[in-house]
Structure 1
Amino acid sequence: MTTAGTKRIAFYAPMKSPRHPVPSGDREMARNLIDIIAAGGAEVDLVTELKVFDKTGDAALQALLRDKATQEVRRLCAEMPAVDLWVTYHNYYKAPDLIGPQVARTRGIPYVQIESTRASRRLTGPWADFAQSAHAAADAAAVIFYFTANDLITLDRDKHPDQSLHSLPPFLPAANLPPASTLDGPMLSVGMMRHGDKLASYQIIADSLRGLQGNWQLQIAGDGPARPEVEALMAPFAQRVTFLGQLSRTELAKAYEQASLFFWPGVNEAFGMVYLEAQSHGVPVVAQDRPGMRDILAPSDQPANYPEVSLGAAALTAKLQQLLSNRGLRHHLGAQAREMIAANHLAPAASARFWRAVTPLA
C-alpha cells in the first residue's frame, strides 16, 4: 500500500489517451473508468499518454512505436511513483499494451486489463507482431474485465491458467437516472460521421426511412469528415431530417428528453454508449441484432424487437412504423430500458464490481 487507506493506481490507454482533444466513445470510456476507479477511494495516475495504434498494418510504424514504448518503459521503471496496481484499458491487435506488462513485472505491481481482445486470426498478416504482443499482454494480466458476453468467448478460450475473468457491464458516468423522455418529439440518431462502419449505419438509416409512412421527423446529432456523404444520403427526405451537429453532453441530454425513439443500426459497434444514454432516458431503441449490443439493449416481450441483420432495412422500417404509431408501446419499452439501466449500467455498480475483483490483488 502506498499510504494508509489510499491506493494509487497507474492507468494507461494505448489506443487513445483520455486527455485526447477529439471526442470518441473510446475516450469517454477511458475517462469514465478513471472516475469509477477513483470512486473507490484511490488516486488514479495517467502514467503515460503514448499512443500505440496502427490502423493499417504498417510494419515501419509498428517498429517505431515499439522503440517509443521501450523508452517509456525505461522512464517509468526509473521515475514512476510507487503504485498499488496497473490498469490498462483496451488492449488489442491494433493497439497492444507494450508498456504495462514490463513495468508491472519490473516494479512488482499487479497488472489488470479492461476490455482486452484476443484475435488469433490476426497472428498472421500485417498485424502479426502486434497481435502477438496483445496476446502476451493479456497473458500477463491477473484480472481481465470484459464488457459483453461476446468479448468473453475468446478471452475464456485462450485464458491464462493464473488469470480470472470478470464481467464489467458498460456503464454511464452517473449515480442516478436522468429525466425520462416525453417520447413525443422527433426520432433521434446519434453517431460520429466517419467513413467505414459509422457511414454504413447512416446508409442503413437512409434505406430504412424510404419506406416510412406518416408525418415523421428525424434529428441527427454528430459531425465528422463524412458529413457531406451523410447529408447526401438524407437529402431525399428534405426538411424531415434535421442535422444538430456535434452536441455537448447537456445539449444531447435535452435531445434525448423529447425523442420518440432512438435509431442506430449499430454496424460493428462494440456496444455503443449512445444506447445506454438513450435507454437511461426511457427512449426505446431501434437497432439490428448484433453481438456486441445484446448485453446492453433492454429485453422486450415484443417479437423481433431488434431485427436480424439479414432482414435488411425493411425490417427496421417496420419496427420504426410500429413504434411511431403506438405511444403506449414506446412507454412500455422505455420503462423496461430505464429499469435495466438502473440495475446494471450506472457508475456505482461498476465501481463496486471493479473493486470487488481487484482488492485482493492490492
Structure 2
Amino acid sequence: MTPRRIAFYAPLKPVDHPIPSGDRQMARLILRALEAIDPAEIGPVEVASGLRVYDGAGDPAAQARLSAAAAAECDRLLSLYAAEPARRPALWLSYHVYYKAPDLIGPAVAHALGIPYVVVEATRARKRLTGPWSAFAAAAESAIEQAALVLCVSARDRHAVEAYGPPDQQVAMLPPFLDLPPAIDRSETASPPRLLTVAMMRPGDKLASYRLLADSLSRLAAQPWTLDIVGDGSAAAEVSALFAPFGQRVRLLGARPPADLAAHYRAADLLVWPGLNEAFGMVYLEAQAHGVPVLAIDNAGTGTVIRDGVGGRLTGPTAQDYAAALSALLADPSSLHALGHRARAHVEAHHALPAAAQRLRGLLTGLMS
C-alpha cells in the first residue's frame, strides 16, 4: 500500500515569499491546518515546489517562460518520486488558481501519478480566454476542471465553479480561517477614536480603495478621529499624496512584519478598509480576532468574512455611503465597542484554524482512501 502523503503547492505566492500578503498568509495557514490533522490519517505534508507562476501584466512572452519553467519542475518532481518512492504523494493540493496564476505543475504531476488533485480557492474567469492572458486562463480553466475536489472560500467563486465544472466534480466550502491570537480585554473606545488601515499599496483595486477611504474621511473633517496606515508598495507615493491633506491626523507607518501587527490591532478602535473587489480580505479576520470591528464595502468577498452588525458594518459602494457609516460609528462609541466584542466571538465560532483542520480532514481522507 502506498504511504499517505500530501503534496502542497501555491503558484501565486509561495509560502516562503519575502513579501507579506493575504495570499502568503492563507497558504501558510492551510499548511498549518493540514499539519494539525493526525498524520496517521493523511500522512506528512510536503511543499512540492516554490516556483511562482504569476503574470500580472498579460505578457505572452513571460507566460511562455513560466510555462517552460513549470514543465521543468514537473520533470524534476516525477524523477524525484521515481527515485524516492517514499516521497510520492497520494494527493496533490494547490492553493489559489486563477488566470494570472494558473497551476502548471499540480495537474500534470497528479495525472502522471494517478492521484487526486485538489484546489483550494479556484476562480474561473472564462472571459479571459481571449486577450493577453488567454494561455494562462486556458491553463487555469483546465486545472480547475481536472480537480476531484474544489474548495471555495466565497459563494461567488463556488457559483462559477459549479456553473462550469464537470458534473462529477465535488465542490465544497472552506471558509477563510486563521490561528486565533489570545483574547484581550479591550478598553473603552479612545478619544479621539483610533482608526487603522492595513493594506498593500499597489495600482488597481487597492489604490481605488485608498482613494475611496481618503474621499470618505474628507467628509468627516469635523468629527474626531486619527488614522494609522500600515502598508507599502509601488503606489506608496500616490497613497501618501491622498492623505497628505489630513496632516498629523494620518500616520503612514510603512510595511510592518506580521509579528508587529498585533500591537497595531490592540491600539485600534476600528479597522477601515473599503475592500473593493477583495476576494475576502484576511485583514478583516485578523482585526475581528483582536476584537476590532471593521468597516467595508458590501460585496461577495467582504461578505464572506464580515457579518453586518456582528463584527462590523458593510456599506454601499460610494464614498458617501462609506462616510455615512463611518460617521455613525464614530458618533456612537458604545456601539463601536460592542461590535468589537461580537467580532471576536464571530471569528472564534466560524473562522478558527481547528475547525478548518477538521473540515479538511473529513474531505481529504475520503479522497485518499
Tell me the TM-score normalised to structure 1 length: 0.93
- Which residue of structure 1 lines up, in the alignment, with residue 314 of structure 2? 306
Residue 147 of structure 1 corresponds to 153
Q: Which residue is equivalent to 2:214? A: 206
The DSSP-based 3-state class of the residue aligned with 1:90 is: strand
Equivalent residues in 2 for 1:207-286 (5 A)? 207-212=215-220, 213-286=222-295
Q: Is there any run of 5+ residues in structure 1 with no aligned partner, and where?
A: none
Q: Deviations over 1:118-147 (max 9, x none)?
A: 111111122222211111111111111000
Once the two structures are TM-superposed, the CA of residue 292 in structure 1 deviates from its matched residue by 0.8
Residue matched to 1:72: 73
The answer to whether the aligner puts 1:333 opposite 2:339 as a matched pair is yes
Instruction: Give the match for residue 15 of structure 1.
Output: 12
State the number of aligned residues: 355
Code of the aligned partner of 2:46: D
Structure 2 CA distance for aligned equivalents of residues 169 and 51 of structure 1: 25
Given that residues 66 and 98 in structure 1 are in contact (C-alpha distance below 8 angstroms), is that contact kept between their aligned partners in structure 2?
Answer: yes
8 Å CA contact 2:20–2:258 kept in 1: the answer is no
1:115/1:144 contact within 8 Å kept: yes
Cα separation, 2, equivalents of 1:233 and 1:181: 31
Which residue among 183, 187, 190 is the counterpart of 2:198?
Answer: 190
Partner residue, 2:183: 178
Instruction: Tell me by how many angstroms 1:335 deviates.
Output: 2.4
1:118-129 counterparts in 2 under 5 A?
118-129=124-135
Alpha carbons of structure 1 residues 157 and 265: separation in structure 2 relative to 1, 3 Å? same
**Could you tell me how far 1:294 is from its partner in structure 2?**
0.7
* Alignment check: 8 A CA contact 1:180 1:281 kept: no
Query: What is the CA distance between 1:84 and its match in structure 2?
Result: 1.8
Identity of aligned residues (%): 46
1:61 aligns with 2:62: yes
Higher mean C-alpha displacement, 94-103 vs 179-188: 179-188
Please give the root-mean-square deviation of Cα atoms over the aligned residues, in Å. Answer: 1.8
Instruction: Indicate the SS of the match to 2:196.
Output: strand
Q: Please give the secondary structure, in 2, of the residue aligned with 1:115.
A: strand
Q: CA deviation at 1:280?
A: 1.2
Give the distance between the partners of 2:263 and 2:51, measured in 1 at CA.
Answer: 36
Summarize the Cα distance change of 1:330–1:187 in structure 2 as closer, same or farther, 3 Å threshold: same
Q: Secondary structure at the match of 2:6?
A: strand
- Opposite residue 140 of structure 2, the aligned amino acid is A
CA shift, 1:281, in A, is 1.8
* Structure 1 residues 358 and 301, CA gap change in structure 2 (3 angstroms): closer
Displacement after TM superposition at 1:180 (Å): 4.8
Deviation of 1:34 after TM superposition, in Å, equals: 0.8
Shift in Å at residue 301 of structure 1? 7.6
Question: Cα gap change, 1:242/1:122 in structure 2, threshold over 3 Å: closer, same or farther?
Answer: same
Q: Which amino acid aligns with 1:28?
A: Q
**d(CA) in 1 for partners of 2:51, 2:249:** 44
Secondary structure, counterpart of 1:257 in structure 2: helix
Listed as ranges, the matches of 1:78-157 within 5 Å are 78-80=79-81, 81-157=87-163
Report the residue type matching 1:91 in the other structure: V
Task: State the alpha-carbon separation in 1 of the partners of residues 27 and 138 from structure 2.
Answer: 24
Q: Deviations for 1:6-42, whole angstroms, at most 9, x for unmatched residues?
A: x421011111211111111111111111111111134
**Deviation digits for residues 157-200 of structure 1 (CA, Å, limit 9, x no counterpart):** 012222111111011123x6532543425111111122222111
Q: Which amino acid aligns with 2:144?
A: A
- The 1-side partners of 2:213 and 2:169 are apart by 42
Q: Distance in 1 between matches of 2:108 and 2:259?
A: 41
Report what 2:84 is aligned to: none
State how far apart, in whole Å, the 2-side matches of 1:195 and 1:251 are.
Answer: 25
Select between 177-186 and 18-27 the one with higher mean Cα deviation: 177-186
When residues 180 and 288 of structure 1 are mapped into structure 2, their CA distance, relative to the original with a 3 A threshold, is: farther
Alignment of 1:37-56 (within 5 A): 37-40=34-37, 41=39, 42-56=43-57
Query: Which shows bigger deviation, 192-201 or 136-145?
Result: 192-201
CA distance in 2, matches of 1:255, 1:53: 31
Distance 1:177 1:350 in 2: 18
CA distance in 2: counterparts of 1:181 and 1:252, whole angstroms: 16
Task: Tell me the CA shift for residue 250 of structure 1.
Answer: 3.5
- Counterpart residue identity of residue 184, structure 2: P
Q: 1:220 to 1:129 in 2, by over 3 A?
A: same
Kindly tell me: are residues 188 and 149 of structure 1, through their superposed partners in 2, closer, same or farther at Cα, counting changes over 3 Å?
same
Query: 2:367 maps to what in 1?
Result: 361
- TM-score for both structures, normalised by structure 2: 0.91
Quick one: which amino acid aligns to residue 49 of structure 1?
G
Q: Which deviates more, 216-225 or 272-281?
A: 216-225
Preserved contact between residue 310 and residue 346 of structure 2 (Cα < 8 Å): no
